[in-house]
């Protein structure tokens, strides 16, 4: 009897030890795993920073984080979707500038039942988080129009559009939106004064193209520049500087990439900030946190009725001097209380 009791106690102790060991080895419950595919375009600091911010916020929450780069390549974006699925992530954030492949990504993630947040480029079935690019474009165009009205009474010789066709619909919304905003303020600028060129969103590409366009309009003395982003617009400004026509040109950019810090071109009059690097605050606050808590919100995939809307912030060059550069903004954002956005921190109130 004593032997049997001893054996029972020994068996129970063994089982208890085994259970304790297995609990110790398995650790806490498996962490939520967030995947992020950054854009991977080479144009801008903020693309890399988007991943850095998402990673920092995921770390604050104790989540696992997997970052891949889409390399601005639709084939890579598709391969990345397969990797996320194989890696069994719980949710994905996509910034995929090559929107033509988004339906393929949606089909893959949909079949795997993985919720996806998309930044700025709407896709059916993906939570839309981002700017209203058209509204941002119009805001920038109106800001430029006000300057043109004050300075030249809207009597403009040339309106240059630094397009970035590779950005697809985003380019149409932003650059076209800027023209629309300009027309709101200066409706009488003739259509033949509007000239587009391909700047690819990069100053180095836009510069020679704009130089040729300006050479082909040697008599233009009052020139406005709009475009996809600050880089593309800056190319036109620098072309005018090279041709000795810097005082003839006023430009307004988009995305705020090159209007902060102490190395700003004086002919860039302003830009529309989206604080792109900080989008993860919106995505996590309004979509990913509820998913991680087991309460996924209803999918809102329309840019007009988004899961989370980022506010555009038009800023003059003068006001932009008070806004830190990308690295400084990221540091301030990560030090701010949870849920604080860069718009809250940096957008001038007036």
Partner 1 sequence: MTDAASTAPSPDVSRMGGWRANLPAGGGTAAIVAGAWLVLIAASGIHRPDFLSHQTVLAVSFTMAIVGILAVAQALIGMSGAILDLSQPTALVLSGSVVAWLLERGVPVPVVVVAGILVGAAWGLANASIIVFGKLNPIIVTLATNFIGTAVMFLIFQNAQAPLKSGFSDFGRTYFLGLPNIWWPMVILVLLVGYLVPRSRYGRHMIAVGGNRFAAQARGISLRKTRFTVFAVSGAIVGLAGVLFAASNGPFAPAVGATYQLPVIAGVILAGVSLAGGRGSIWLILLSVAFLSTVPTSLVFFGFSSNWQAVFQGAILIVAVAIDGWRAKRQQR
Options 12, 17, 18, 204; binder of partner 1; rule CB under 8 A:
204
Options 161, 196, 229, 271; binder of partner 1; rule CB under 8 A:
196
Where does this chain touch partner 1 (CB under 8 A) — which range of 19-27, 40-48, 78-86, 331-339? 40-48
Q: Cβ distance 197 to 213 under 8 Å?
A: yes
Q: Cβ distance 322 to 270 under 8 Å?
A: no
Shortest distance in whole angstroms from residue 54 CB to partner 1: 17
Options 208, 297, 324, 348; binder of partner 1; rule CB under 8 A:
208
Q: How far is it, in rounded angstroms, from Cα 182 to Cα 180?
A: 5
State yes or no: residue 278 binds partner 1 (CB under 8 A).
no
Options 51, 137, 181, 235; binder of partner 1; rule CB under 8 A:
235
State yes or no: residue 238 binds partner 1 (CB under 8 A).
yes
**DSSP conformational letter for 297:** P
Shortest distance in whole angstroms from residue 204 CB to partner 1: 4
Q: How far is it, in rounded angstroms, from Cα 97 to Cα 90?
A: 23
Nearer to partner 1, 94 or 163 (CB): 163
Shortest distance in whole angstroms from residue 198 CB to partner 1: 5
State yes or no: residue 284 binds partner 1 (CB under 8 A).
no
Q: How far is it, in rounded angstroms, from Cα 57 to Cα 239?
A: 41
Binding mask 136-175 for partner 1 (x = CB under 8 A): -----------------------------x----------
Where does this chain touch partner 1 (CB under 8 A) — which range of 57-65, 205-213, 279-287, 340-348? 205-213
State yes or no: residue 55 binds partner 1 (CB under 8 A).
no
Stretch (H or E) spanning 110: helix 102-111
DSSP string of 218-278, one letter each residue: TT--SEEEEESSHHHHHHHHHHHHHTT-GGGEEEEEES-TTSSSS---TTEEEEEE--GGG
Nearer to partner 1, 200 or 308 (CB): 200
273 SS3 class: strand
Q: Which candidate, 228, 271, 224, places its Cα nearest to that of 249?
A: 224
- Burial state string for 211-247 with b = 16 or more CB within 10 A and e = fewer than 16: bebbeeeeebebbbbbbbbbbbbbbbbbbbbeeebee
Shortest distance in whole angstroms from residue 38 CB to partner 1: 12
- Contacts with partner 1 by CB under 8 A lie at 42-45, 47-48, 165, 196-198, 202-205, 207-209, 211-216, 218-219, 231, 234-235, 237-238, 241-244, 258, 263-266
């Amino acid at each position: 009897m004593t032997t049997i009791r001893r054996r029972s106690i020994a068996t129970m102790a063994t089982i208890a030890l085994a259970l304790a060991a297995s609990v110790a080895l398995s650790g806490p419950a498996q962490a939520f795993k967030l995947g992020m595919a950054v854009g991977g375009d080479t144009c801008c600091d903020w693309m890399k920073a988007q991943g850095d911010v998402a990673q920092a916020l995921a770390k604050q929450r104790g989540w696992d984080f997997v970052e891949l780069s889409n390399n601005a390549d639709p084939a890579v974006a598709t391969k990345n979707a397969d990797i996320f699925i194989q890696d069994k992530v719980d949710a994905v954030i996509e910034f995929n500038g090559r929107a033509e492949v988004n339906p393929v990504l949606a089909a893959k993630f949909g079949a795997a039942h993985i919720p996806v947040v998309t930044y700025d480029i709407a896709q059916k079935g993906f939570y839309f988080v981002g700017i209203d690019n058209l509204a941002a474009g119009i805001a920038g165009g109106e800001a430029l129009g006000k300057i043109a009205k004050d300075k030249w009474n809207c009597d403009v010789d040339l309106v240059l559009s630094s397009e970035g066709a590779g950005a697809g619909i985003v380019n149409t919304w932003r650059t076209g939106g800027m023209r629309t905003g300009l027309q709101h303020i200066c409706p009488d600028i003739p259509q033949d004064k509007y000239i587009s060129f391909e700047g690819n969103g990069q100053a180095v590409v836009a510069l020679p193209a704009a130089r040729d366009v300006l050479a082909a309009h040697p008599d233009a003395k009052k020139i406005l520049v709009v475009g996809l982003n600050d880089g593309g617009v800056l190319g036109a400004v620098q072309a005018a500087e090279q041709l000795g026509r810097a005082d003839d040109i006023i430009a307004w950019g988009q995305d705020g990439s090159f209007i902060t810090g102490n190395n700003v071109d004086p002919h860039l009059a302003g830009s529309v900030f989206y604080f792109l690097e900080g989008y993860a605050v919106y995505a996590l606050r309004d979509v990913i946190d509820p998913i991680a808590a087991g309460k996924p919100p209803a999918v809102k995939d329309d840019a007009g009725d988004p899961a989370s809307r980022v506010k555009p912030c038009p800023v003059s060059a003068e006001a932009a001097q008070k806004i830190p550069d990308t690295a400084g903004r990221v540091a301030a954002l990560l030090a701010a209380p949870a849920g604080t956005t860069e718009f809250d921190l940096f957008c001038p109130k007036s």
